[in-house]
Structure 1
């Protein structure tokens, strides 16, 4: 069914559930996963000194690499091919662009991320991805 599934993650509980769901989807079809983390420099708003921005960006990137690595470990344990990517930008825009540029068949993502866990239906990033993507999006 789906040969290439893109799973953006921010380390939230919903993102973990999306990874697990995506593993189930591709384990039946022999497809592969790409786990994507977007370094959102909005997370670095607290930085007061411009010289700290590079260090902060490096720490956020390292956190993202750790998160996608852990997700890929889950996929590998399930016998699913997995790759990772860490990019910088505005999360919803980068998710859609990555999916389109890398021929993803579907985007599987959590309904709520770390920034909006109390939204009643769908969080802001998920909503914007659903609205902007020409590729199907499954929210978990």
Structure 2
């Protein structure tokens, strides 16, 4: 792990993300790219070219100064930090910055959301999760002991999740984590018998690993929803983090179908790492 991107809005939760990234950076000798998205208002954008240029420079300089002050924190001592200020909104463009700098991980803080606020507004973190091709680590709390000793990887073991699983395996191998695979069986149309679940997992592991070495380690969980099954198992098993694949649905499709990974990222108290299904 060489480069970690941390979007910063100067809030407490982005500070938690920055501190978490610092822990990882010190452990793996990585560089932190602290990214601030400076939103230029429509009022400024409608001004003349000369006025626009002058005000844009002013706000960029102001952001850079605030950045300098924000990054003077004890936990960043001996960590290479590169501040980046961009003048666009935070959602899809974080992925572009990650690809431009060949980043290994995006770390974001989130307070989570629920109800109508979640449906109609969502969080910046949720939108980054939806668009990012790079793994996203979502942090909810101030890190006291950021550990990836035991990570739950939840999957439906479909063919589309083979690549996210492989990417998760590579990342968590670097982090020295034990990856625990779980399949959540739910009532209704998605219900599968024991033999059906086992056959799905067999097909998946043969394609992903080329062997069945992990077959006996897969846990089969029954619950009313996939989200509840993942969160309940993570809590009772003493997991340090949860890993999930995300479809990255956008627009109206996302509104109708939602995304289990985004719901987990919103509602889990544990760190969540998402991997994009391509």
TM class by shorter chain equals 0.7 to 0.9
Please list every run of 5 or more consecutive structure 1 residues that lacks an aligned counterpart in the other structure: 113-117
State the SS of the aligned residue for 2:24.
helix
Q: Tell me how far 1:127 sits from its aligned partner.
A: 0.8
Greater RCO, CA 8 A, separation 6+: 1
Quote how far apart the aligned CAs of 1:65 are.
Answer: 1.2
Within 5 Å, which residues of 2 pair with 1:58-137?
58-74=57-73, 77-112=76-111, 119-120=113-114, 123-137=122-136
How many residue pairs get matched?
132
Query: Aligned-pair distance for 1:109?
Result: 1.2
Larger radius of gyration between Structure 1 and Structure 2: 2
TM-superposed CA distance for 1:128, in Å, is 1.1
Task: Give the distance between the partners of 2:19 and 2:54, measured in 1 at CA.
Answer: 32
Cα drift, residue 54 of structure 1:
4.1
RMSD: 2.7
TM-score by length of 2: 0.42
Taking structure 1 as the reference length, what is the TM-score of the superposition?
A: 0.78
- What is the distance in 1 between the residues matched to 2:11 and 2:91? 16
Aligned-partner Cα distance in 2 for 1:137–1:75: 25
Structure 2 residue matching 1:92: 3-state secondary structure: coil
